[in-house]
Chains A and B, each alone.
Chain A
Amino acid sequence: MAEKISDDFNYVGKPVRKVDSLSLARGEARFTDDYDIQNEVYGVFLYSDIPHGRIREIDTAEALSIDGVIDIFHHGNTPNTLYTSAGQGYPEPSPYDTRLFDSVVRFVGDRVALVVAESEEVAREAAGKIKVNYEELPAVFDYERAEEPDSPRIHADGEFPKIPVAYLPEKNIAAKIDIGFGNIDEGFKEADFIVENTYRMQYASHCATEPHVARAYYDDRGRLTIVTATQVPFHARRIVSMVLGIPISSIRVIKPRIGGGFGGKQEVILEPYVALITVRTGRASRIKLSRKEVFVSSRTRHPMRVRLKTGVKKSGEITALEMDALMNNGAYGSHALTVLSNAGSKVLPLFNKIPSIRFRGETVYTNLPVGGAYRGYGATQGYFAFNQQIDIITRKLGLDIIEYCKKWHIREGETSKIFEALGEGKEGVSQVIKSCKLDECIDRGAAEIGWYEKRGKRRKLDNGWVTGVGMAIGMQGSGIPLIDMGSASIKMNEDGSFNLFIGATDLGTGSDTILAQIAAEVLQVPVDKMIVLSSDTDLTPFDVGAYASSTTYVSGSAVKKCAEKIRKDILEVASQMLGEEVSGLKVKEGTVVSGKTGESVSYSDICTYSLYQGGQHQIQAEASSVMPESPPPFIAQFAEVAVDVETGKVKPLRFVSAVDCGQAINPVLAEGQVEGAVVNGISYALTEEYRFDKKGRMVNPSFGNYKIFTAPDIPEIKTILVESYEETGPFGAKSVGEIAINGPAPAIANAIYDAVGVRLFETPFTPERVFKALKSREE
C-alpha cells in the first residue's frame, strides 16, 4: 500500500544533517583507536614471507627474551578450531577453512604468530626475531590454472563447508554453482550468430581511510568487551565465542564511529585475536593494522574471469545466454560462494526475456591474498562483462543501445527465473518487480550526458585526445531475502524524546540518521528528538550488520514497525488523557491532536502521564524484520572519456548516474553513496591493481604505489535520483549503497571503444593496456 507520496513527508525525503555530524565535524567523535584504555598491551602479527609451506618449527626464545614482550601466540599454543572469517549469517555459506594460526601458511602475508608486548615498537622488534623453519611447498598464483592436476592443493586438512554445498578442496575448488533453465543448446542453434567473449577483473583494496583496528578489555563486571571497527558486531561476537570457546553471554562487542568499510570490515579479522590476548594475559589489548597489512593481509575484491556467450538473432533478440565465472579467492574461501553467485544473480535477471540461461561458476583457491566482501559483491564483475557484451551486440547489429536496453530490461510486474534459482548458498526467493524506473534512469542520464550529440562523434580535443561516450545499466538487491534480519527498540522519555536502539551498523553511510528519519516520520517529531544508539551487542537488539545493501530496507522496516507500535501506545495513553477514542486522534509535531475538538496533548505530557499518573508503564516497543523479497534498485550510468592515442592514457571527463533507489530517505546521503561508489568504481577501472612478484608477494602495498583517485583526478560527476516508490519498503525505500560501483568500468570501456574503436576486456585500463590494444588493432 503506497501510503504517501514524498511531498507529504515531513522528515523522510529531506536532506537532514547526519545525527553524528556535529561530533564528527568537531573531531570529537570517537573511533576505535581513540578510546582511552588503560594498561593496554599491543599485538603485532608475524606474517609468512613464503607463499606456501609447512611450519616445521617456530623458535620464539630470542623474541620472548626481549624486555617488554609478554607472550607469543602461534599454531602450537592456540585453539585450532576451523571457522570462516566471513561475517555472514549463521550457518555461513563460506567454507570453514581458517584457523587462528595454522601449521600451513598459504600466501605471503598469512598469519604465523602474534607477538604481545608492552608497546607496539617492542612487539614489532620481537616479531622480527622469531625464527620460522618452513618446509616450502609449491605454490599456484594463476587462478585460471588452480584446478589443473599439477597445481598444488592448498586446503587438505579437514576444512569443510558449514552448509551442504559443493566444496572440493581436492581440486582447489572452494565453491561451485551450476544452474540454468530453458534449453541452452536449442537456444544457441536458433540464433543467427554467437557473441562470445572473456572479461577479467583484478584484485583491489577497499582503502577505507581507517585501517582495521580492534581492542579488548575486561570491564568492571569482568565481561570481555571488544571495541572494533566492524560492519558486523553480532557476527563478530558469535565468531569470537565459537573460536575461543567463550560463552556469548561473556562477550560484548561495541562498534563506535568507523572510518569506512565498503565490505572490508564485514570480516572478523582482528576480534578473535584481541580477545585471545585479553583472555590469556588479563590485560587490555589492541591490534591496529598498518596500511601495508591492510593491503596484503586483510581482504580484497575477488579477481574474476567471466566468459559470456550469447546467441543473438538479427532482430537483436537474445535466444540463449551462458555465463561462466571463475573466481579467485586467494588462500582462504571468504565469501567464496556468495560473491560468485551474485555475479549471476544480480546480473542475469536484468534481461529477463532471455528464454534459456545457464550460469556456471567456480571459486578457486590460490596462494595469493584473500578475497572478501567488497561493495558490489560480484555484481561488479558480472556487469563489467554484461554491459560490454550488450555494447558489442548492439554495435554489430547497428542498433541504438539506449532503445535496446529499454526494450529488453525487466519491468514492473515482471519476474525472472533467476530470482528463484540463485540464492545465498541455497535456492533463492521468487519475486515480482514492484518498482522499476529504469527507463527514466536511462532517458534522463542520456540527456544529461548529451548522448545523441556525442555518441560515435569521436570529437577531437585541442590536445589531440579523442572523446567517446559509453553506457552501463544495472540492478542490485536490498538485503538477502528471508535471511537478513534487522531489529529495533524504542523507548520514550518524558520530555518527548525517544531512545532508538538499533543493531544496524553505520559505517559512515548515515544509516543512524536515515533510521532516525524513519522513526521521526512515523512519530511526527523532529529527527533531533531521536537519540540514536547503534551497534552495541549488550544494549541494542540484533542486526546482521551492514552488508548486502540491507540497512535501509531491512533494518528500516524494523524501525518503522517499532515506531508504529510506539505511536499506537502514545495514542492509547492520549485517548485516556483526552477522553476520546483513538480513532479520532492523530499525531502531529510532537503532540496528539483530537480531530473533534482540536484539543491536543504534548508527547512530553503523555510520557509523563504514563510514567507517573495513569495506567503507569514505560512507553516502549521492539520489532524485527525479515523481508520476503529483495527489491532491486536500478541504475543507468554514462561515461564520457578522452583517450590519447599516442600514449593510451584515458581521462574520464564526465560521469552521470541516474538511479532508482525507491524513495530516498535522505537525498543528500543517497547521492553521497552514489558519488563515493562511482569514484571508487572509476578508480578501480583505471588505476587500482595489486602487482605481485614471482613469489606471490604484493609489490605495491601503499597509497603511493597503489594509485587511488583523489580530488584532482575526478571527472565532473552528476547524480540524478529518479523518483520512485517501492511499496514493500519503509516509506517507499529500496537500497543505494552498492549499486553505483558496478557501472563505471563497463561504461568507461564502452566509451573508450566509442572514442578509439578498441575493446578492453580486462581492467584496469592502464595506458600500457590501452596502448597495446591500439597497437594490435593497427597490426
Chain B
Amino acid sequence: MKADFIINGRRESLEFDSRATLLEVLRNSGHREVKSGCENGECGVCTVLLDGIPVNSCMVLAASVIGREVTTIRGLTEDDDTGLSPVQEAFAEAGGIQCGFCTPAKVLVTYSLLSRNPQPSDEDIMNALDGNICRCTGYVKILDSVKLAAEKLKASGKESRKERGK
C-alpha cells in the first residue's frame, strides 16, 4: 500500500507492506539513523518519537502511524546542516556516546523527557531510560549527559526568553 507519513515535519509518500513495522518503513525509506538491535521491543535502539512520545518503532505497525508526527534524531537538527541540538551537544561533551549505536534513541528519550520534565531527578532519568539498552557506557555518562542537557536547555531557554524580551 501507499500512504503519506509525517517524518520530521515533512510529508513523505511511501510504498509499504501492510504488515510492515514502522522501523522497516523508516529504514527502507533511507532513515538509517533509526537503528535495529532486536526487532522484538527489548533493546530500545529503534526508538523514535510518535507525537513526541518515545516508542520502539519495531513494535509499531507502520499503518497505524499514518498522519501522526514521527520524529527521528535527524528531526532535532532539521534546520541545521552541521550543528547539534543542546541534547546532542550534551551527549558529545559528557561522554554519553561510545559506539553511538544507541545514541539516537537515548537522545530522543532525553529530548522527550526534558520537554515534559525540565528538571528531572536521577531516578526520573534512569526510569525514562528503562528498556533502552546501552552496553558500552554503563549508563554513568549517559546520566551525566542528560543532566548536562537539562542545564543546556535551561540556559538556552533563558537566552531565548531574553531575546524575546528585547
Contact = CB atoms under 8 A, between A and B. Distances in A.
A489 B84 CA distance: 31
A21 B32 contact: no
Contacts of A425: none
A768 interface: no
Given A259-B101, A291-B37, A702-B40, A711 B129 contact: yes
Interface residues of A, number: 54
Contact of B135 (A33, A206, A671, A712): A206
A20 interface: yes
Main secondary structure of the interface of B (DSSP, over half): loop
B55 interface: no
A17 interface: yes
Given A206-B135, A711-B142, A712-B127, A676 B72 contact: no
Contacts of B98: 260, 508-510, 672, 676
B21 interface: no
27 contacts: A15-B95, A20-B100, A24-B103, A27-B33, A27-B34, A33-B36, A34-B32, A207-B133, A208-B135, A209-B134, A257-B99, A291-B39, A291-B43, A508-B101, A672-B138, A672-B140, A675-B137, A675-B140, A708-B133, A710-B129, A710-B130, A710-B139, A711-B127, A712-B129, A714-B126, A714-B140, A719-B140
Interface string B83-95: 0100011011111
A26 B89 CA distance: 10
A717 B137 CA distance: 12
A557 interface: no
A679 B74 contact: no
A146 interface: no
Nearest to A708: B133
Interface in A163-190: none
Contact of A17 (B40, B45, B93): B93
Interface string A705-727: 00010111010010100000000
Given A710-B130, A710-B131, A25 B99 contact: no
Nearest to B104: A27
A29 interface: yes
Interface string B135-152: 111111111000000000
A161 to B, nearest CB: 33
- 10 A-B pairs closest in CB distance: A508-B99, A259-B101, A27-B33, A24-B100, A679-B138, A675-B138, A703-B42, A711-B129, A21-B92, A34-B32
B74 A675 contact: no
B139 A711 contact: yes
B39 A703 contact: no
B137 to A, nearest CB: 5
B112 interface: no
Interface in A604-632: none
A482 interface: no
B37 A210 contact: yes
Given A258-B99, A509-B98, A680-B138, A27 B72 contact: yes
Interface string A197-228: 00000000011111100000000000000000
Contact of A671 (B95, B101, B126): B95
B99 A507 contact: yes
A675 B143 CA distance: 12
Nearest to A677: B138
A207 B99 CA distance: 13
Contacts of B45: 209
A258 B95 CA distance: 17
A676 B138 contact: yes
Contact of A27 (B36, B40, B103, B135): B103
Interface string A644-675: 00000000000000000000000011011001
B138 A24 contact: no
B36 A703 contact: no
Interface footprint category on B:
35 or more
Given A209-B134, A676-B135, A703-B133, 20 more contacts: A18-B92, A21-B92, A22-B92, A25-B91, A26-B33, A27-B74, A29-B100, A30-B32, A36-B30, A209-B133, A257-B100, A260-B98, A508-B100, A672-B141, A679-B139, A702-B42, A710-B130, A710-B132, A711-B139, A714-B140
Contact of B137 (A24, A206, A258, A672): A672
B35 A209 contact: yes
B107 interface: yes
Contacts of A208: 99, 101, 135
A28 interface: yes
A15 B36 CA distance: 30
Given A27-B73, A259-B101, A708-B135, A209 B37 contact: yes
A702 B74 CA distance: 29
B39 to A, nearest CB: 7
Interface in B38-53: 38-40, 42-43, 45
Nearest to A211: B37
Contacts of B77: 26
A262 interface: yes
A281 interface: no
Contact of A714 (B74, B135, B138): B138
A205 B38 CA distance: 14
A432 B136 CA distance: 33
